[in-house]
């Protein structure tokens, strides 16, 4: 056997390929912005002397001043503390929904792709069904009676995993024939354990990148819902509900609208920068023309 | 054929689920709650039973009534007795006009920007458009709509005209007046769409520009412009047009925010109103319409891709 193989000299002196940098410049910028916003969301509300329930009866709809650096609402609420609390809630919703949706997507996609056959057909049919039902409708209908933001998170997550699940399924089909999966199977590891211990962990890169994209998708979805008064309800605030409250007064009291809108855009930009960077790293085919 | 059966099943299950969900969650009785003098419970029951909305009737009976109506093409009635089908037919026109305008504008902007960005790959236009796209993708529709309104008010004030209108479809009924009402909502739909389309078009175009047939065309001495338009752009339009076809279906209820902000009485806006008034039948009907539109556009996108594929020309 070995005699038929051409004798190829192994280049001994080849330097090992340079380790790719952890993050690109835009990724670092996104990460920095995201950390800053997260710090604001966590620490900000503690440092501001006002609380969300406080009303300053000497300053209704007043422009930014020393007392209220971001101005006040028509009912005298301090916009700085409201915006920071809204940022906290929006960030929290985005993170929790993304993690939950990606977990569901990983499980559904990996089981469908690994088992194929009727498991695949059933799971993919459910996936298609949820894609066809307008998610907005269901979330709006169900959350119109709820005042619990956890319920909102569950609902948003329930309608955000399908596209990722399809991608995971494709990757899982490819992983089926990889040696490490075959090895595990032939060693008699039970199928469900093969999926959970060998298939899913090896799709981690895809999952991390998709989870990041889902963070911004969830925050944007919450914003739309809040505009119609669904989802986050008073006295709780999110950036979406603040934007909805501020929009009617945006013309003559710009501070009621722009702080929340600006922070929301900054937040999405930061998450997207990090997400794009992760995706480029894990899927170099997408980077071809960057 | 198998796919058709599958899609029909998807639509049936999706609309049934929407109806059940709405029937269990929504409360049409609340419409009578605030009335003085309070109508007797029996009267409310009778009125609600009349339109198949009474939550004290057995759920299964109500479902069968609704489903048998749907099979005959009857979407049922709203809580105040109007025909859902007639209402939605009228509103579908409103939505269709808006979505068509938004889609055409978004496609034109997106295709132009994407193609130019690909042709000027890594030059200033490519970088600038990339940055703008990135920013646009981070702006939610609510914010974009309100920013456009603020911009329009500023434009109207500085030019002293009242061309750009921010609410409704028309005031005087003239063509120019309709156009003035259409610009802002159409832009709200078009800009995010153009952002996605331009990225999509740019990447396909770059793929094509590096393909062999384009290099051959260049090598045999055809002018650059001819090669880009005739050889590259035509091929690159195929995947993008399939994407646009699919988007059309998704936008039919995806324009809810835009319709609400700009006061256009379309399907999306009706959906919100129906949820508020507990109109189970309307909610289910809009879901059905949305599901049908989505699947039809998916099929259309598929067919389009096959028909346009140059590999199938002979």
Domain count, chain A: 1
Shared domain check, B220 and B263: yes
Q: Is A219 within the bounds of a domain?
A: yes
Shared domain check, B139 and B51: no
pLDDT at B59: 80
Decide if B166 contacts B184 (C-beta within 8 A).
Answer: yes
List the single residue in A with minimal CA-CA distance to B13. A129
Q: Average the pLDDT over each of A14-28, A44-58, B51-65, B155-169 and give the range with the smallest value.
A: A14-28
Residues of chain B found within 8 Å of residue A128, distances taken between Cβ atoms: 10
Residues of chain A found within 8 Å of residue B272, distances taken between Cβ atoms: 140, 228
In this structure, what CATH number is given to the domain that contains residue B164? 1.10.3720.10
Residues of chain A found within 8 Å of residue B287, distances taken between Cβ atoms: 133-134, 137
pLDDT at A13: 57
Record: contact B253-A134, CB cut-off 8 A: yes
Record: contact A145-B13, CB cut-off 8 A: no
Q: Is A117 within the bounds of a domain?
A: yes
Mean of all residue pLDDT scores within chain B: 83
Shared domain check, B165 and B34: no
Q: Give the model's confidence band at A227: pLDDT under 50 very low, under 70 low, under 90 confident, else very high.
A: confident
Q: Please name which of A122, A281, A288, A287 lies closest in space to residue A205, comparing C-alpha atoms.
A: A281
Q: Give the model's confidence band at A134: pLDDT under 50 very low, under 70 low, under 90 confident, else very high.
A: confident
Decide if B110 contacts B193 (C-beta within 8 A).
Answer: yes
User: Which residues neighbour B44 within 8 Å (Cβ) at sequence distance 6 or greater?
Assistant: B29, B32
Shared domain check, B139 and B286: yes
A8 touches chain B (CB under 8 A): no
| Peptide bond between residue A107 and the one before it cis (omega within 30 degrees of 0) | no
Q: Which residue has the tokens 């059933």?
A: A122
Q: Give the model's confidence band at A1: pLDDT under 50 very low, under 70 low, under 90 confident, else very high.
A: very low
pLDDT at B104: 92
Record: contact A227-B260, CB cut-off 8 A: yes
Q: Which residue has the tokens 């759920």?
A: B59
A257 touches chain B (CB under 8 A): yes
Q: How many residues does chain B have?
A: 314
Mean of all residue pLDDT scores within chain A: 80
B280 touches chain A (CB under 8 A): no
Record: contact A141-B275, CB cut-off 8 A: yes
List the single residue in B with minimal CA-CA distance to A289. B203
Shared domain check, B42 and B168: no
**Distance between B172 CA and the closest CA of chain A, angstroms:** 25
Record: contact B140-A220, CB cut-off 8 A: yes
pLDDT at B308: 78
**Distance between B219 CA and the closest CA of chain A, angstroms:** 23
A228 touches chain B (CB under 8 A): yes
> Coil, helix or strand for B145?
helix
Q: ipTM of this model?
A: 0.81
B38 touches chain A (CB under 8 A): no
In this structure, what CATH number is given to the domain that contains residue A155? 1.10.3720.10
Shared domain check, B284 and B174: yes
The ranges of chain B with pLDDT < 50 are 313-314
pLDDT at A2: 46
**Distance between B311 CA and the closest CA of chain A, angstroms:** 24
Select from B11, B146, B202 the Cβ nearest to the Cβ of A257: B146
B59/A31: higher pLDDT: A31
Structural domain span for residue B50: 2-71
**Distance between B135 CA and the closest CA of chain A, angstroms:** 7
Q: Is A31 within the bounds of a domain?
A: no
A99 touches chain B (CB under 8 A): no
A159 touches chain B (CB under 8 A): no
Q: Round to whole Å and give the CA distance between A35 and B46.
A: 59
Q: Please name which of A39, A106, A138 lies closest in space to residue B22, comparing C-alpha atoms.
A: A138
B307 touches chain A (CB under 8 A): no
Record: contact B150-A250, CB cut-off 8 A: yes
Shared domain check, B142 and B102: yes
Q: Is A105 within the bounds of a domain?
A: yes
pLDDT at A144: 64
Label residue B218 exposed, middle or buried (CB < 10 Å: 0-12, 13-18, 19+): middle
Shared domain check, B280 and B137: yes
Per-residue pLDDT of A186-223, as tens digits, reads 998 888 888 888 888 888 878 888 888 888 888 988 88
Q: Is B85 within the bounds of a domain?
A: no
B134 touches chain A (CB under 8 A): yes
Residues of chain B found within 8 Å of residue A215, distances taken between Cβ atoms: none
Q: C-alpha distances in angstroms, B52 versus A137, B13, B17, B28?
A: 21, 20, 17, 11
Domain boundary among B13, B39, B71: B71
Record: contact A228-B287, CB cut-off 8 A: no
List the single residue in B with minimal CA-CA distance to A215. B138
Q: Is A177 within the bounds of a domain?
A: yes
What does A172-188 look like in DSSP terms, one character per residue?
HHHHHTSHHHHHHHHTT
Exposure string for A226-246, b = 16+ CB within 10 A, e = fewer: bbbbbbbbeeebbbbbbbbbb
Q: Average the pLDDT over each of A228-232, A238-242, A257-261, B293-297 and give the range with the smallest value.
A: A228-232
Residues 112-131 of A with CB under 8 A from B: 125, 128-129, 131
A21/B234: higher pLDDT: B234
Question: What's this model's pTM, rounded to 2 decimal places?
Answer: 0.83
Shared domain check, B105 and B150: yes
B229 touches chain A (CB under 8 A): no
Shared domain check, B171 and B124: yes
pLDDT at A290: 52
pLDDT at B108: 92
pLDDT at A102: 92
Domain count, chain B: 2
Q: Is A239 within the bounds of a domain?
A: yes
Record: contact A141-B143, CB cut-off 8 A: no
- What residues form DSSP beta bridges with B83? B77
pLDDT at residue A60 tops 90: no
Q: Give the model's confidence band at A17: pLDDT under 50 very low, under 70 low, under 90 confident, else very high.
A: low
Shared domain check, B30 and B141: no
Q: Is A202 within the bounds of a domain?
A: yes
Structural domain span for residue A189: 81-287
B251 sits in which H/E element: helix B234-254
Q: Is A12 within the bounds of a domain?
A: no
Shared domain check, B25 and B164: no
DSSP state of A200: T
> Coil, helix or strand for A99?
helix
Per-residue pLDDT of B86-105, as tens digits, reads 888 888 888 888 899 999 99
User: Which residues neighbour A28 within 8 Å (Cβ) at sequence distance 6 or greater?
Assistant: none
Residue B4's CB: how many other CB atoms inside 10 A?
10
């Amino acid at each position: 056997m070995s005699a038929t193989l051409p004798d190829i000299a192994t280049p001994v002196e080849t330097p090992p390929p340079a380790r790719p940098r952890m993050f690109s410049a835009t990724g670092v910028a996104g990460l920095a912005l995201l950390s800053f916003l997260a710090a604001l969301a966590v620490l900000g509300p503690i440092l501001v002397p006002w609380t969300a329930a406080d009303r300053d009866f000497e300053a209704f709809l007043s422009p930014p001043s020393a007392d209220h650096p971001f101005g006040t609402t028509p009912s005298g609420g301090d916009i700085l503390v409201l915006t920071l609390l809204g940022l906290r809630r929006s960030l929290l919703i985005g993170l929790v929904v993304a993690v939950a949706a990606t977990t569901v997507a990983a499980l559904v996609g990996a089981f469908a792709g690994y088992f194929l056959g009727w498991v695949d057909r059933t799971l993919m049919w459910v996936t298609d069904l949820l894609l066809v039902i307008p998610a907005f409708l269901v979330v709006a209908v169900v959350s119109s009676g709820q005042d619990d933001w956890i319920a909102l998170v569950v609902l948003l997550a329930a309608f955000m995993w399908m596209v990722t699940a399809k991608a995971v399924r494709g990757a899982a089909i490819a992983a089926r024939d990889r040696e490490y999966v075959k090895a595990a199977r032939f060693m008699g590891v039970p199928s469900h354990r093969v999926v959970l211990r060998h298939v899913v962990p090896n799709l981690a890169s895809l999952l991390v990148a998709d989870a990041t994209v889902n963070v911004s998708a969830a925050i944007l979805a919450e914003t739309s819902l809040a505009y119609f008064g669904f989802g986050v309800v008073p006295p709780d605030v999110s950036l979406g509900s603040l934007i909805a409250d501020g929009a009617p007064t945006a013309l003559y009291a710009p501070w009621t609208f722009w702080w929340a809108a600006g922070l929301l855009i900054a937040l999405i930009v930061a998450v997207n920068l990090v997400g794009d960077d992760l995706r480029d790293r894990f899927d170099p085919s997408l980077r071809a023309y960057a | 054929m198998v796919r058709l059966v599958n899609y029909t099943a998807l639509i049936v299950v999706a609309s049934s689920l929407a109806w059940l969900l709405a029937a269990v969650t929504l409360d049409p009785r609340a419409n009578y709650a605030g009335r003085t003098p309070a109508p007797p419970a029996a009267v409310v029951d009778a009125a609600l039973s009349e339109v198949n909305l009474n939550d004290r009737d057995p759920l299964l009976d109500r479902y069968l009534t609704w489903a048998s109506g749907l099979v005959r093409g009857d979407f049922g009635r709203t809580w105040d007795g109007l025909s859902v089908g007639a209402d939605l037919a009228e509103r579908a026109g409103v939505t269709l006009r808006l979505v068509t305008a938004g889609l055409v504008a978004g496609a034109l902007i997106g295709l132009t920007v994407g193609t130019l960005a690909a042709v000027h790959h890594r030059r200033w236009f490519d970088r600038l458009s990339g940055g703008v796209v990135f920013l646009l993708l981070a702006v939610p529709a609510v914010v974009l709509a309100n920013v456009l309104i603020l911009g329009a008010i500023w434009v109207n004030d500085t030019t002293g005209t009242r061309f750009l209108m921010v609410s409704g479809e028309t005031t005087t009924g003239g063509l120019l007046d309709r156009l003035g009402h259409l610009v802002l909502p159409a832009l709200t739909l078009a800009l995010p769409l153009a952002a996605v389309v331009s990225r999509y078009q740019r990447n396909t175009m770059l793929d094509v520009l590096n393909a062999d047939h384009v290099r051959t065309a260049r090598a045999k001495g055809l002018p650059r412009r001819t090669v880009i338009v005739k050889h590259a752009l035509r091929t690159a339009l195929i995947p993008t047009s399939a994407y646009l076809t699919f988007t059309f279906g998704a936008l039919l209820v995806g324009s809810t925010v835009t319709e609400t902000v700009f006061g256009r009485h379309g399907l999306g806006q009706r959906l919100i109103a129906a949820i508020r008034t507990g109109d189970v039948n309307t909610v289910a009907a809009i879901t059905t319409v949305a599901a049908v539109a989505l699947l039809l556009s998916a099929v259309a996108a598929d067919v389009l891709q096959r028909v346009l594929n140059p590999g199938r020309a002979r």
